[in-house]
Amino acid sequence: MGIIKAFKLGFDYFKYDEDGNVQEMQRAVDDINLDIEAGSFVAILGHNGSGKSTLAKQLNALLLPSEGTIWVDDMDTSKEQELWKIRQKAGMVFQNPDNQIIGTVVEEDVGFGPENMGVPTEDIWKRVGDSLRKTGMTAYRHHSPNKLSGGQKQRVAIAGVMAMRPQCIVLDEPTAMLDPNGRHEVLEAVSELNKKENVTVILITHYMEEVIHADKVYVMDSGKIVMQGTPREIFSQVERLKEYRLDVPQVTLLAHELHEAGVDIPEGILTTEELVSALCQ
Amino acid sequence: MSIELKNVTYTYSPETAYEIHALKNINLVIPDGQFMGIIGHTGSGKSTLIQHFNALIRPTSGTILYNGEDIWEEKYDRRKLRSEVGLVFQYPEHQLFESDVLSDVCFGPMNQGLSREEAEKEARKALAHVGFKEEYFSKSPFELSGGQKKRVAIAGVLAMNPKILILDEPTAGLDPKGRDDILDQIQLLHKMRGITIILVSHSMEDIAKYVERLVVMNHGEAVFDDTPRKVFSHYQELEKMGLAAPQITYIMHALKEKGLDVDVNAITVEEAKDSILKALKKGGKADD
């Protein structure tokens, strides 16, 4: 039984005129079925406007389905009495670090979540300490968040989610605004949480290189899931991904171009090591 | 015709406990028609630097010349400067405010003194140049997707017919196709209109693909200023600054190490492919 399941999920955005009548309706998520295994690392790809974020916001009941059902750890998100439990199970991290940090000191920011949940004080401090350690931010505990780099701010945001002890963490383009180093730091932290703490990770991104180690990749287009499989299965279809306005990692593209030019190497190469061993046997 | 920075220094909160030297003794000449890239980690001084180019920030010391004239001379027309040196900020949504796309793009040229009719002509031209479809001209800019908003913001600056276009991470948060589309359009504008482009980016792959000159900022200093090929050959130093080289650079170095005679200075997929094919042929491994 998956930690997150969706059945025939649909979501509509409405545009109203001045009198409150529906002027336009747009289907953002359409007929989505999901079964995400606890402890797995799942990536969602898709172009701008393909419905990724709308789907993500339904994973912790920030949006409720217009159609179909979504269950987080067996709880139906449309049941209002489960709302807080659901948000505790599935935490969310957004793109812009500056929009999700509220504390004036790092440890305060991280403690905000558990405090809000009514966790006893000494337990809060324990959780804050744990979360900062898990994200490698212990050294910044007493710093002011606005003096941190982008990657560090995102790790504070992740620590804040971790302090609520979620089983699942949804990251919506967490690295879009970061420099290469910041991107690396955040991915490293996320992958550690997945491996060591067995937290289920759902990563939405436009950087293809970030998903090569995922257990499963979903590709969205016009609100639907149009491809799913392992990174290798997905990235061996270079032309199809381009139709969906996506791309493959540079190394995969290079291998594909070499393959097309008649070099005897397999499709779906994902890392530099794989390419080197394919070319230099 | 150029921007020239001479010994430019900028200090935030000078002579207080919070004093930060954001720029230290920067010397740069950006000639007309160049496609220049700027990289640097968060807080390295990139954004502070580009805001000096159109007089949004006044240097603490040093001189900035535009076409040979000191832009901080008392009588200098900085308003005119800002219409010639256009700046597109990182968050295009902060730059949009009108009720429909066309009016938003018209704002700049009308501010320059054009009539609505003339401004509309410029706006339509600019929107066409960024690949924005006419059927969305009457939409509210706030209903658009991230990629479309960026296009409108860029068009808004282009409509003023700038001679220099500065873009601060124009592709952050865009999907791969949207990213390529916008950068291809910018390159086309660079070629068609001969505009000088200054591109700030965190994507080393984009920098490698488009720019002819690359400046690397670190702790407020311009530590490298050369062709991207030369700059990326210092990839180990770049890593120490929280940066990196394009993935291709790492691939080529790894292949070379394993004995394949490839050009380690290749920085794009295309160059790498050619170099590998050549090396394989020499070694007799290619199929033909």
DSSP per residue, B221-274:
EEEEEE-HHHHHTTHHHHHHTT----HHHHHHHHHHHTT----TT--SHHHHHH
pLDDT at position A17 is 80
pLDDT at position A98 is 82
Banded pLDDT at B96 (limits 50, 70, 90): confident
Is the pLDDT reported for residue B95 higher than 90?
Answer: no
Tell whether A170 is covered by a domain. Answer: yes
For the whole prediction, is pTM greater than 0.95?
no
pLDDT at position A25 is 86
pLDDT: which is higher, B212 or A18: B212
Tell whether A251 is covered by a domain. Answer: no
Mean per-residue pLDDT, A265-277: 93
Is the pLDDT reported for residue A227 higher than 90?
Answer: yes
CA A10/CA A222 separation, integer angstroms: 12
Mean per-residue pLDDT, A99-107: 88
Tell whether A252 is covered by a domain. Answer: no
Would you call B205 and A178 a contact, using CB atoms and an 8 Å cutoff? no
B176 vs A149, A183, A206: nearest CB: A206
The mean pLDDT of chain A is 92
Tell whether A235 is covered by a domain. Answer: no
Would you call B40 and A180 a contact, using CB atoms and an 8 Å cutoff? no
- Tens of pLDDT, residue by residue over B17-34, are 878 889 999 999 999 999
Would you call A181 and B242 a contact, using CB atoms and an 8 Å cutoff? yes
Tell whether A62 is covered by a domain. Answer: yes
Contact A165, A185 (CB under 8 A): no
Tell whether A140 is covered by a domain. Answer: yes
Mean per-residue pLDDT, B145-158: 85
Would you call A262 and B288 a contact, using CB atoms and an 8 Å cutoff? yes
Would you call B172 and A273 a contact, using CB atoms and an 8 Å cutoff? no
pLDDT at position A1 is 65
DSSP letters spanning B58-69: --SEEEEEETTE
Mean per-residue pLDDT, A50-55: 92
Mean per-residue pLDDT, B146-175: 88
**Range(s) of the domain holding residue A215:** 4-230
Would you call B260 and A279 a contact, using CB atoms and an 8 Å cutoff? yes
Is the pLDDT reported for residue B172 higher than 90?
Answer: no
Nearest-Cα distance to chain A for B173, in Å, is 5
CA A262/CA A16 separation, integer angstroms: 56
Using a CB–CB cut-off of 8 Å, the residues of A that contact B are: 15, 46-50, 95, 149-151, 173, 176-183, 206, 208-209, 242, 245-247, 249-251, 253-254, 257-258, 261-264, 272-273, 275-276, 279-280
Interface A-B: count of C-beta contacts within 8 A: 123
By C-alpha distance, the chain B residue nearest A274 is: B251
Lowest model confidence (mean pLDDT) among A1-5, A111-115, B34-38, B224-228: A1-5
Which of A254, A251, A274, A250 is closest to A263 using CA atoms?
Answer: A254
Mean per-residue pLDDT, B277-288: 72
- Could you give the percent of chain B with pLDDT greater than 90? 67
Q: Which residue has the tokens 């482009």?
A: B197
Tell whether A249 is covered by a domain. Answer: no
By C-alpha distance, the chain A residue nearest B261 is: A280
We report the CATH number of the domain holding residue A106 as: 3.40.50.300
Burial degree of B19 (CB within 10 A; 0-12, 13-18, 19+): exposed
The mean pLDDT of chain B is 91
- Could you give the percent of chain A with pLDDT greater than 70? 100
Which residues on chain B are in Cβ contact (under 8 Å) with A245? 175-178
pLDDT at position A237 is 94
Which of A136, A159, A142, A161 is closest to A104 using CA atoms?
Answer: A142
CA A176/CA A217 separation, integer angstroms: 18
pLDDT: which is higher, B13 or B234: B234
Nearest-Cα distance to chain B for A206, in Å, is 5
Tell whether A116 is covered by a domain. Answer: yes
Instruction: Determine which helix (DSSP H) or strand (DSSP E) holds B198, and give its type and residue range.
Output: strand B196-200
Nearest-Cα distance to chain B for A163, in Å, is 26
Which residues on chain A are in Cβ contact (under 8 Å) with B93? none
A254 vs B41, B273, B285: nearest CB: B273
CA B123/CA A194 separation, integer angstroms: 49
At position B269, the amino acid (one-letter code) is V
Banded pLDDT at B251 (limits 50, 70, 90): very high
Counting the structural domains of chain A, the total is 1
pLDDT at position B286 is 47
The pairs formed by A24-32 with CB atoms below 8 angstroms and a separation of 24 or more are A27/A223, A28/A54, A28/A223, A29/A54, A29/A55, A29/A58, A29/A65, A29/A223, A30/A222, A30/A223, A30/A224, A31/A68, A31/A224, A32/A6, A32/A8, A32/A68, A32/A223, A32/A224, A32/A225
B175 vs A181, A246, A261: nearest CB: A246
